[in-house]
Amino acid sequence: MILNILSLIAMGLLATFGSYFLKRATAVGLSPRALIVSPYLWLGGVLYVLSALLNIYLLLRLPYSVVVPLGALTYVWTLLVARWLLKEPITKLKLAGLGLILAGLVCVVLG
């Protein structure tokens, strides 16, 4: 059970940091050549693949109706990473939205 919980958290974190590094890759511009040689693009892609592999592992062990909704925890990590690394503000509206997502998760997973 603990391994499943840690895997769910890791899946979300890997997807969040995958997105973060893809965002960093765009800092060099959007030319195809610049993107292809960006280490951030490759790191982001690898993290996304690892997240997908963890998702597959979890789908083998847990019900689909639990794994997929809990993937929405990625929004929690994304908000924190955006604040921590990108210095984006956390507004009341963002917190309200996050609260609604978490409430929905509870309803779907426990329902």
Note whether 88 and 82 are within 8 A (CB). yes
C-alpha 82/C-alpha 80 separation (Å) is 5
Q: State pTM to two decimals.
A: 0.88
pLDDT at 27: 85
C-alpha 92/C-alpha 98 separation (Å) is 10
Per-residue pLDDT of the chain (111 residues; tens, 9 = 90+): 889 989 999 999 999 999 999 999 988 777 888 888 899 999 999 999 999 999 999 999 999 988 998 888 899 999 999 999 999 999 999 999 999 999 998 898 887
C-alpha 15/C-alpha 80 separation (Å) is 13
pLDDT at 55: 96
